[in-house]
Amino acid sequence: MTSVEQLRIVIRNSHGENLVGILHETGSKDLVIICHGFQSKKERIPMVSLATALERQGISAFRFDFDGNGESEGSFMYGNYRREAEDLRAVVIHFFKEQRPITAIVGHSKGGNVVLLYASKYNDVPAVINISGRFHLEKGIEGRLGKDFLERIKENGFIDVKNRKGNYEYRVTEESLMDRLTTDTHAACLLIDQNCRVLTIHGTRDEIVPVKDALEFASFIRNHKLHLIEGADHEFTSHQDELAAVVFDFIRAVREGKNIPEHLQSCKRGVNFIKSRI
């Protein structure tokens, strides 16, 4: 069995902030980078589950906190998609300097958008895995910011978001809101090199990001495979093993230079099920 170490690594981003991550070191030359989602951190599922599953297969994995999240320095900001893509850039460069090729970058939820943005700008990773990413970034905002959020933020300059108990969580400025609204997922998808393999994984019972968003990624990314996990929620709470198996099969095919496994080639039954609901 491969000996595994979990090493705490600090990487400075382009803004001089320290990003903190955990390297699951198996001794493999290559590695996989795992990115968390909105208001999340490297210790949340599925980041830990995926890193652990990969290490069991002898593949090194690095999960880290974006700036302003978890243990990393910086201030939390709503939006911030492009800046987080640059955080990922700092991580990739760090391992390139150590002669560690990156087999894949994996992102969950908002992290899925970040890895796609990265691939659209930097053509230096062979594979991208988008888990539960949102295609239409102009949607899903009202649930957090309330009705008439555009009018209110233009009037006051910010909106303070509170949790269900009425306690303050974070501030959304007009600038950070516009960062999200001007992040063009469609354009990013079209810019991803056709030689970059992209896999989108989505749960059919995701109540945070509609599963139909997954179909949009499939429509606009040239070298793309879609895998739907029946009954899975946004974080794949009861489907961690299935998620890990799908991710590993894809990464193994990329590492070995083989065609993507047949069960990842299409999800016609799931797609037809979704279309019947739209």
Instruction: Please tell me the least confidently modeled range out of 35-49, 52-66, 94-108, 261-275.
Output: 261-275
Tokens of 7: 């090493």
**Quick one: pLDDT at residue 260?**
63
Binned at pLDDT 50, 70 and 90, residue 274 comes out as: very low
Over residues 94-105, the pLDDT tens digits come to: 999 999 999 999
CA distance 29 to 35: 20
pLDDT digits (tens, 9 = 90+) for 14-31: 999 999 999 999 999 999
pLDDT of residue 3: 75
Cβ partners under 8 Å of residue 122, min gap 6? 89, 92
User: Which has the higher per-residue pLDDT, 1 or 108?
Assistant: 108
Question: What stretches of 40-180 adopt beta strand conformation (E)?
Answer: 60-64, 102-108, 127-131, 158-162, 168-173
Encode 12-21: b = buried (16+ Cβ within 10 Å), e = exposed: ebeeebebbb
Q: Is 32 in contact with 59 (CB distance < 8 Å)? A: yes
Helix axes 174-181, 149-156, angle to 10 degrees: 140
Given a cut of 60, whether residue 278 has pLDDT beyond it is no
Give the CA distances from residue 92 to residues 13, 35, 61, 120, in Å, rounded to whole numbers and listed in that order.
11, 12, 12, 15
Q: Which pLDDT tens digit goes with each residue over 57-96?
A: 999 999 999 999 999 999 999 999 999 999 999 999 999 9
Confidence of residue 273 (pLDDT cuts 50, 70, 90): very low
Extract the tokens encoding 263. 């069960």
pLDDT given at position 262: 56
Give the model's confidence band at 1: pLDDT under 50 very low, under 70 low, under 90 confident, else very high.
low
Checking if the pLDDT of 218 tops 60, the result is yes
Q: What pLDDT digit, counting tens, does each position of 249-263 carry?
A: 999 999 998 776 655
What's residue 2's pLDDT?
60
**How confident is the model at residue 261, as a pLDDT?**
60
Contacts of 27 (CB under 8 A, 6+ apart): 2, 3, 58, 60
Give, in order, the Cα–Cα distances in Å from 21 to each of 55, 61, 87, 156, 274. Answer: 15, 10, 12, 36, 37
Give percent of the chain above pLDDT 70. 92
Local confidence band at 4 (pLDDT 50, 70, 90 cut-offs): confident
